[in-house]
Structure 1
């Protein structure tokens, strides 16, 4: 199992953005010293929900301060970025970091961000699918060209020339059936966020695995799970941290993505967000949806987290983790305290544990 940190850049601290951004980015540098494998960063724009407009640029700073940790934009949102520029920036960061980049790609789901970039969210599926192929081919060949519905790109050579790129170094966010299908078709590792009972996702996950194997003649790689983590010593602290910080995070997510928004109902590729909205409005309402959200993430004492990992592996099989320790306005003293406890008391066991065969989807 590979284990990393996922920086969300959620500024609910009330501190000035410049100070906040420096403190949040420092997490990735400290993660190497603690033994984490990845430093992953989101791309989001315009609000305090997640204030990281360019993960590749931020990771360039991290690359200069570290030696071994892998650098993962998780993810570059392709509908908001020109494919040529993505290939150029990834190749440059990979050169400067001596081959440490793992490229994560996503299509976005927040209408306010699409509006800010003068893009129609309804086009996101087509924009992603076309751009991903252009970028993948560009990194593998060093040449970018395209003549698609959304991209007309004359052939250009990339400098610095990309080296050593295969699809094993690329992944995509796969939070809907259509995205899971594209990931399998393209031969990409899948990245999923914890949002509830993992058994409910197994039909989709197993479809990804079977399609991947049928298309590429090999077993699908372990997917990556992005977890919000609470790792504290006592159950009293678990309750405190959950009530104080996780609740704020949950409602930020629901508001940012407009879970259950009417605009999603006309876009089948965003069916997951319709379902999340339906869960908010079903019996039990937001409180039940919140409890399900907590249950899907890694929250507890070190012993409880090890137990949750074993239960999850029994359901989904092998997976990698990028763990978010900083959210909901949590102080950085508490962020680092959790990271160190997780690194010392949880991470060694998670790396050594083997999964059983995952359960079959019903």
Structure 2
């Protein structure tokens, strides 16, 4: 049985206000539908100053989702932790953890766009040290006790619902991120399939006597799914939206960054051949889900790249009707 995941980032080419609002509303409505129908997870993201409104505020979106749902989890992958005030971030996550009764997971990432740091008045060259301070502060703050913070006494209340603290994983694609995770006794979440980082994590953890940690590794082939009975027709109608998102994301990458969903395509045909963005029949989705497990997650991206909302609903409804009964049998 595969994990079923809905990915949302509210990308809206053109920045039409009514369209932006409709996409956030659709995100909440789709999350509510997923919650009621047994889906496992909602995935949110963070970017700033994007020309297509790529979501800058996943914590706010998560709060709205939690208010509309009862059981589904939300993972923010990734939260750009150095861009936040550590104390306010500790408070916001603690409140969300209480609202959701522990359904929030965070992948704390550094990010890879200097313009985002500049826009929020953070020092790009100090991002690693800032990340250390933020994560260390979160772990101290969530005890509910007083602690020293930048030369003064601080305290964060309420404590999170989750004991000892909400699920926070250190994200990255470098050994420095692995070392940070082990030092702080946190899980590691790789942004790309890099097996040597997984091995490195467990080796370091063993050396330091850290038990109970884990490393999450995406599969070698990650697929963003649009579920349809007619893949050729879907590609003809919606390929431009998939390509818009793929090219936007690719334009932000640098040579030292790896990602499981980075595309190198510049045409719809090339994107289809590449196999990251996919239009799959229900039968193809069922086959992917047969082996089950986290590495075989079925990831639907129902609002991808500005995809018409009604088309996103069509994909989600078809998947629910024809795939979910096989993936989550009674």
Per-residue CA distance 1:150-205 (angstroms, 9 max, x = gap): xx2633221222233346722233344433443344443444556xxx5xx33333
Q: How far, CA to CA, are the matches of 1:219 and 1:330 in structure 2?
A: 38
Instruction: Give the conservation status (yes or no) of the 8 Å contact 1:171–1:190.
Output: yes
Cα gap change, 1:153/1:240 in structure 2, threshold over 3 Å: closer, same or farther? farther
Cα gap change, 1:47/1:307 in structure 2, threshold over 3 Å: closer, same or farther? same
Q: How far, CA to CA, are the matches of 2:135 and 2:70 in structure 1?
A: 29
| Residue 204 (structure 1) aligned with residue 194 (structure 2) | no
Partner of residue 144, structure 2: 142
Partner of residue 100, structure 1: 103
| Residue 162 (structure 1) aligned with residue 147 (structure 2) | no
Cα gap change, 1:233/1:176 in structure 2, threshold over 3 Å: closer, same or farther? farther
Question: What displacement does 1:273 show?
Answer: 5.2
Instruction: Give the conservation status (yes or no) of the 8 Å contact 2:90–2:156.
Output: yes
Structure 2: give runs of 5+ residues left out of the alignment.
Answer: none
Instruction: Give the conservation status (yes or no) of the 8 Å contact 2:5–2:40.
Output: yes
Structure 1: give runs of 5+ residues left out of the alignment.
Answer: 261-270, 353-362
Q: TM-score, normalised by structure 2?
A: 0.79
Which residue, 224, 235, 245 being the options, matches 1:228?
224
Q: TM-score, normalised by structure 1?
A: 0.73
Q: How far, CA to CA, are the matches of 2:180 and 2:301 in structure 1?
A: 26
Q: How far, CA to CA, are the matches of 1:337 and 1:192 in structure 2?
A: 32
Question: What displacement does 1:82 show?
Answer: 0.9
Which residue, 301, 317, 323 being the options, matches 1:340?
317
**Cα RMSD for the two superposed structures:** 3.8
| Residue 329 (structure 1) aligned with residue 325 (structure 2) | no
Question: What displacement does 1:219 show?
Answer: 6.7
More helix by share: 1
Secondary structure (helix, strand or coil) at the match of 1:272 reads coil
Partner of residue 251, structure 1: 247
Secondary structure (helix, strand or coil) at the match of 1:328 reads helix
Instruction: Give the conservation status (yes or no) of the 8 Å contact 1:227–1:298.
Output: yes
Question: What displacement does 1:144 show?
Answer: 6.3
Residue pairs, 1:1-362, within 5 angstroms: 2-12=3-13, 15-16=16-17, 17-139=20-142, 141-143=143-145, 145=147, 152=150, 154-166=152-164, 169-193=167-191, 198=193, 201-212=194-205, 215=208, 216-218=210-212, 220=214, 222-223=216-217, 228-237=224-233, 239-240=235-236, 243-255=239-251, 257-260=252-255, 271-272=256-257, 291=271, 294-296=274-276, 299-308=279-288, 318=295, 323-347=300-324, 349=326
Secondary structure (helix, strand or coil) at the match of 1:75 reads strand
Question: What displacement does 1:311 show?
Answer: 8.3
Question: What displacement does 1:56 show?
Answer: 1.9
How many residue pairs end up in the alignment? 323
